[in-house]
Structure 1
Amino acid sequence: MAHSGFFLAVEAAGTGAHPASWRRADSRAEDLFTGRYWVEVIVAAEQAGLDAVFLPDSFGLQPGGPGTTRGRLDAVAIAARVAAATHRVGLIPQAPVTHTEPFHLAKAIQSLDFAALGRAGWEVTVSEGDEQARAFGRKPAQAAPALWHEADEAIEVVTRLWDSWEDDAEIRDVSTGRFIDRDKLHYIDFIGDNFAVKGPSITPRSPQGRPIVAVRADGAADAEVALRRADLIRISADDLDAARARRTGLRAALAAAGRDPDSVHVLLDLDIHLADSTDAAHAELRTLDSWADPVVAPAPSTLRHLGTAETLREVLAAVDSAEAADGVVLRPLALPAAVRQLSALDQKPLSTSTLRARLGLPRPAGRYATSTEGPPS
């Protein structure tokens, strides 16, 4: 299966990935908790020709500079708000699994896929640390292997629930008064270490069948889950050689696990700050760093590009030609400033197809479609 071109997405993290981005005069921090802000930012990303928008989320407060923290809205709710205002761009919210139930997550992402007419995805995350555990009070903080084992089970439950309705389960037979063919609804009967879920879902199978699943691969535990479950694997790297080596290793591991490496896209994170000139971009970042901490500026966590839309286009071409990734997730350090510049990338207009089709992935058949199992009573 061939990839469907170089995939370009943006991560819309509040006012930007830099913790002091809210202090810029153009940050629109005062609008951050309005629907208008998110509609305008994501519509601009769509008009710039980007394939998808990732929406980060967490149950913890975000750092906002020395002595300050920031709140956030729910990422799935933001995506649902934006779905009606967009027509082509993929919407991929993060949704943590650690303190939530997979039944609720399955229904939320299915509903988003309906609202977006087949443009939904789900980036799987976990909730680390005591702060988030105390927010729920149900269990103590867990180590990474336990968190990602639970995430693996949660993804299995969610995808089974997505398949628990056959595509033609809704018959809407007025003459008999039957809205659903109950023989085409299926128990999922999952019993694991963290969940025991019978199902079926209460939501019909959505336009993509299964919305796109994204997982970061930063460590051993999350990479193992990504190799088993993800359609999109996000990576970080210090340079293109490291990114290419990481992608090559992941593709070999996918093949060893019995998956077609061409059915999974490896996306490289790229931190960016864009301005009218490269000198201006560097100067603006120095200002951001001075606001973040007077002594120690935040260290880059992955490749970083400071410049203009034109120089960014050159970097993206270099990533593609080096086969360092199948696409890039832009992480603007100052989001509204970057979005204004992205229209100059001259991306080709997006198709109106589903997110899955844009990735070159077929709509999967439901795993229970040939089951002889009886309907729920």
Structure 2
Amino acid sequence: MSERSVLLALNLDGAGNDPKHTAYQALRAESAGFNAVSFSSDGLLDAVQRASYVAAQTRRIGLLPVIDVLFTEPFHTATQLASLDIISRGRAGWILETHNDSVQAQAVGRTVLADDELSIEAAEVVTTHRRLWDSWEDDAVVRDAATGRYLDANKLHYVDVEGRNFSVKGPAITPRPPQGQLPIIAPSHLFSESGLQHCRLNGADVIAINTASLQTLLAQATASSTSGAVAIELDIYLDTAGQTGAQRAADIGIQSSERAVFAGSTKALINFLAEFAEATANPADQRRHLVHLYPGDLEIDGAVLIDEVLPQLKYGNLLAPNSTTLRENFALPVAQNRFQEAS
């Protein structure tokens, strides 16, 4: 396989709040060869619930719920994500976001954080998740009927995280996820020397880059790819038989967004993806990079992507194949348990 191949994720928020329709769209994406689908909360179901429903209907595609890092309970989200990984047999990841607004903060008795505190809070939450996922060794569950033992207590490890705004004690209440550590994707503005890091044990695996300019996006992704896996996000409006992507985008009236907007032909999109793959290729580091697509209209743009774009990406060896787990898709190293490494 070419080292200049990319991962593609399709956002399914356009499927609405019908879980069956969301699962149908995920199955179409899986059959077409997408590497992952993503979900936000839709008002009725949260992102993990949507992903869990889809997990039971699919077999190969990665599942990326978008979850806030600031005002959610780390112990509970670590449990939910581990359960999603178990349900999907190793296909779960986490897109980390920060909803630093007064409404959500007041709902949990917190205050809005200053900008310089966001990275530190994110680092503490990610560290908590990673330690909880490692708190069970892989073979902690023994299921010894003869002695009536379900667990080997010596293979469960105590976790005590004291953050600035929360504290968590473990071990977790679920076994270690099949991947050991779920891939975590975090926005670039959260990475700092004193806060969130791009590292194996306590940091995020993938840096998500957002900017309104396609060329700036490409330049920043190229620079960041020297230190590991990156993800870029695009709003997509593709040309159709009756209307150009630019016309469709104008008709919708795009609101200001951090994401770059791609409006154009399938050929132009394929050329951009090829340019991204070439610019971020690093023979010394085989980790793969992600392009996260947000279709302007899931029915229209999703169909064009499936029918026209992905077949040509496969033909050009630009689309990475799906492996057994999401970590393998990103070509991340095997996640060794920190407690076993220390023993």
Could you state the TM-score of these two structures normalised by the residue count of structure 2? 0.85
Structure 1 regions of 5+ residues with no counterpart?
Answer: 16-27, 58-69, 253-260, 290-296, 373-377
Counterpart check, 1:231 vs 2:202: no
Counterpart check, 1:215 vs 2:179: no
* Offset of residue 74 of structure 1: 0.6
Does the C-alpha gap of structure 1 residues 220 and 116 become closer, same or farther in structure 2, counting only changes over 3 Å? closer
Task: Indicate conservation of the 8 Å contact 1:87/1:352, yes or no.
Answer: no
Look up the equivalent residue of 1:185 and give its one-letter code.
L
* CA distance in structure 2 between the partners assigned to 1:193 and 1:286 by the alignment: 45
Task: Indicate conservation of the 8 Å contact 2:222/2:279, yes or no.
Answer: no
Match of 1:266 in 2: 230
Match of 2:40 in 1: 56
* Offset of residue 357 of structure 1: 0.9
Q: How does 1:121-270 map to 2 (within 5 A)?
A: 121-134=93-106, 136-218=107-189, 225=196, 227-228=198-199, 229-239=203-213, 241-251=215-225, 261=227, 264-270=228-234
Match of 1:292 in 2: none
Task: Indicate conservation of the 8 Å contact 1:89/1:350, yes or no.
Answer: no
Worse-matched range after superposition: 323-332 or 215-224: 215-224
Worse-matched range after superposition: 177-186 or 232-241: 232-241
Match of 2:317 in 1: none
- Deviations 1:86-110 (Å, cap 9, x if unpaired)? 1111101111122221110110000
* Offset of residue 200 of structure 1: 0.3
Structure 2 regions of 5+ residues with no counterpart?
Answer: 282-287, 315-319
Look up the equivalent residue of 1:33 and give its one-letter code.
N
- Report which structure shows greater RCO (CA 8 Å, sep ≥6): 1
Task: Indicate the RMSD between aligned Cα atoms, in angstroms.
Answer: 2.7
Q: How does 1:89-128 map to 2 (within 5 A)?
A: 89-128=61-100
* CA distance in structure 1 between the partners assigned to 2:220 and 2:181 by the alignment: 27
The count of residues paired between Structure 1 and Structure 2 equals 325
Which of these residues, 57, 70, 79, is aligned with residue 51 of structure 2?
79
Match of 1:303 in 2: 260
Match of 2:274 in 1: 317
Greater C-alpha radius of gyration = 1
* CA distance in structure 2 between the partners assigned to 1:180 and 1:371 by the alignment: 21
Task: Indicate conservation of the 8 Å contact 1:235/1:267, yes or no.
Answer: yes
